[in-house]
Amino acid sequence: MADNKDRFVNQIADINTDYTKWYTDVCLKSELCDYGPVKGTMVFRPYGYAIWELIQAEADKRFKAHGVKNAYFPMLIPQAFLMREAEHVEGFAPEVATVTHVGDTELSEKLVLRPTSETIIGNMYSKWISSYRDLPLKLNQWANVVRWEKTTRPFLRTSEFLWQEGHTAFATAEEAEADAMEMLGVYEEIAKDVLSLPVLTGRKSEKEKFAGAVATFGMEAMMKDGKSLQSGTTHYLGENFAKAFDIKFLDKDGTHKYAYQASWGISTRLIGAIIMAHGDERGLCLPPVVAPVQAVVVPIGAGKNPAVAEKAEAVYSALKNAGVRVELDDRDLSPGFKFNHHELRGVPVRVELGGRDLEAGVVTVCRRDSGEKTAFKIDGCETAIKSLLVEIADNMYKKASEFNASHIVAVKTMDEMEKALDGGNFTDAYWCGDRACEDKIKQAYAATSRVFHADQSHVGEHKCVCCGKKAKHRIYFARAY
């Protein structure tokens, strides 16, 4: 048993000494994904895709509660569309994959593989919107996106990834900006209630905003190495794309006006966030809401004791009938091997049942988040385990929140910033708002501005962390993925 256990544990690198390899090992060896044949691509294995499906389901019902409907738009976009919004094309040009030929025939018009859909959706909105009665229009699509990244890592940055992109149009600027803020709140709710993930939300700097937007709002999650992972963004687009694609409507006052728009998206990056915010030396630690397997029943000594096998099957059935996503692991392998297998895959609850448990009329339940073991009576254990799953989700959020709070450091000087960043922290700083200072911080410490702090009071009483001039903003700087 010890040999099996040791062999399994040693499959992943030490999280404390080689975080990068630990992350890759967890992705591959917990069977979330594998590398695709084209450099920079990845294949979602069933376990990883199941997590995405659960995230999708939770997000989709929230979008629909906000009046959003799903649609789908082509991934082939005329290259000319991207040229219509100058800032947009400049922002995406380095990552755009272009289709020039079909067979041996050169296309008369070059096409691009969807890097994002503002342009093609803008083209369609110009056909569909003609009156104030057509507004607001709130559509979302679940789709793939191609951005030719130079440096890739599973889930975090790949040449093709999966996401949702919402695109909304309104009669007024106030409605469009409110939509961007409203959806940022929805994303924050998903992070907390679905992923057990505390996040920082707020407006992005001009340098960090989406190409073509008037304003971008971000959701930043702290990983266990102290780096930030941008985990969702919303954008107030103003009239920029409406003017580029002639999205006009006849208003109530009889005049033609341009529509105001917002867009917003989250992606499979969220799986990377789960791995790095909750994972540990044993591998994944999945939030129960998005765990494909919420509980695994492991019979011990069932080969010699048929009553154990029978009762394990009954416990499995009770859990399944109670709505728990459950597996029965009755493979002919040692218990130690099975325990480590399911710990690596982040299964929130392990239910052990052996001869002694059977005699006592209990199951031994082990929590993945804390390792704590508790004995529950076999009869009615499904109710206790469902309650435990809620407790685990809450505890994971609490642990991550405590980690975040202890790794955000207020800094007043560049030296303090350097020390805090090197210590694996976010920095809470005051900034004059000048791009030159933002660039200097990035060049000196490989750190970027993430989002403005929620509290902007008393900013004028402070000095810029970089140049010492009067501050205009309070903002987080961090190294980021």
What's the first-to-final CA gap in the chain, in angstroms?
Answer: 39
- Residue in 427, 413, 430, 414 with CA at minimum distance from that of residue 472: 430
Q: Is-contact 328 313, C-beta < 8 A? A: yes
Mean pLDDT of 116-138: 97
* Per-residue model confidence (pLDDT) at position 428: 98
Buried b (16+ CB within 10 A) or exposed e, 217-227: bbbbbbbbebb
The tokens describing 100, both together, are 């020039």
Q: Is-contact 228 481, C-beta < 8 A? A: yes
The tokens describing 367, both together, are 């929590």
Lowest mean per-residue pLDDT among 6-15, 172-181, 404-413: 6-15
Strands, E assignment, 103-240: 105-113, 137-146, 160-170, 199-203, 215-222, 228-238
- Residue in 469, 398, 394 with CA at minimum distance from that of residue 436: 469
464 DSSP β-pair partners:
none
Mean pLDDT of 414-429: 98
- Count CB-CB contacts under 10 A for residue 377: 11
Enclosing H/E stretch for 426: strand 426-431
Mean pLDDT of 69-87: 92
The tokens describing 369, both together, are 């988040």
**Domain boundaries in the chain?**
2-278, 293-390, 408-478
Distance CA 400, CA 235 (A): 27
- Residue in 94, 118, 108, 228 with CA at minimum distance from that of residue 167: 118
Q: Is-contact 77 119, C-beta < 8 A? A: yes
Q: Is 174 helix (H, G, I), strand (E, B) or coil?
A: helix
Q: Is 353 helix (H, G, I), strand (E, B) or coil?
A: strand
At 10, the pLDDT band (50, 70, 90 cuts) reads low
Distance CA 160, CA 322 (A): 38
Helix 173-193, helix 46-65: angle, nearest 10: 140
Q: Is the peptide bond before 154 cis (omega within 30 degrees of 0)?
A: no
Residue 319 falls in which region: left (phi positive, over 0), alpha (psi -120 to 50) or beta: alpha
Mean pLDDT of 298-327: 97
Strands 76-78, 105-113: pairing is antiparallel
Could you read off the pLDDT of 200-232 as tens digits, one per residue? Answer: 999 999 999 999 999 999 999 999 999 999 999
- Residue in 432, 422, 420 with CA at minimum distance from that of residue 205: 432
Mean pLDDT of 265-269: 98
The model's pTM is: 0.95
Mean pLDDT of the chain: 96
Domain boundaries 408-478, corresponding CATH code: 3.30.110.30
Mean pLDDT of 22-34: 98
> Based on the number of CB atoms within 10 Å of its own CB, is 347 exposed (0-12), middle (13-18) or buried (19 or more)?
buried
Mean pLDDT of 242-246: 96
- Residue in 259, 301, 312, 288 with CA at minimum distance from that of residue 125: 259
Instruction: Flag whether pLDDT at 5 surpasses 50.
Output: no
CA 189, 385, 373, 276 torsion-angle sign: negative
- Residue in 232, 183, 238, 234 with CA at minimum distance from that of residue 214: 238
Distance CA 397, CA 403 (A): 10
- Residue in 341, 339, 348 with CA at minimum distance from that of residue 288: 348
Instruction: Flag whether pLDDT at 9 surpasses 70.
Output: no
Distance CA 381, CA 379 (A): 6
**Rounded to whole angstroms, what are the CA distances from 287 to 24, 185, 352, 475?**
20, 20, 20, 29
CA 361 to chain centroid, in Å, comes to 41
Candidate CATH numbers 3.40.50.1860, 3.40.50.800, 3.40.50.150, 1.20.210.10; the one for domain 293-390: 3.40.50.800
Domain boundaries 2-278, corresponding CATH code: 3.30.930.10
Phi–psi pair at 154, nearest 5 degrees? -50, 135
In 3-state terms, the chain is what percent helix, strand and coil (to 5)? 40, 30, 30
Instruction: Flag whether pLDDT at 407 surpasses 90.
Output: yes
Could you read off the pLDDT of 158-208 as tens digits, one per residue? Answer: 999 999 999 999 999 999 999 999 999 999 999 999 999 999 999 999 999
